[in-house]
Amino acid sequence: MPGKNMKRPQRLESQYLELRGFLSFLILHEVGLRKLCGEDLAKKIGRRKGAMLLTPGTIYPALKELRKKKLIKYKKNGRKKIYELTDEGKKELSVLYKLFSNYFYGLKHRIKRMDYISKE
């Protein structure tokens, strides 16, 4: 937690390192792989996260926020909305892949180093 004189990171990408933002990243990732309706998206992300089932109260506000930011859009297919990335969403996802790759690469090496140190 930042102290009084420390500022929170102002970079847009930093929001995705928070848990709520990580859901947005997962949505962008899954929708980037294939067009999906909200129900199928919730199931796919739920399987990825383990046994945790995402509820409509979790997934739909996140979808609405991503639409508001113009990162995703939808087309109606009967009663379902089929979500896909916008061009801006594709750019954002590309940046996020790099962000997470760098973050987790560093984390992986730090964990390996800690394991090595603890074995000494």
Predicted TM-score (pTM) of this structure = 0.71
Spans of the chain below 50 pLDDT: 1-10, 12-13
pLDDT of residue 29: 94
**CB–CB of 65/27 below 8 Å?**
no
Task: Tally Cβ neighbours within 10 Å of residue 85.
Answer: 21
DSSP state of 70: T
Domains of the chain as residue ranges with CATH: 12-119 (1.10.10.10)
pLDDT of residue 89: 97
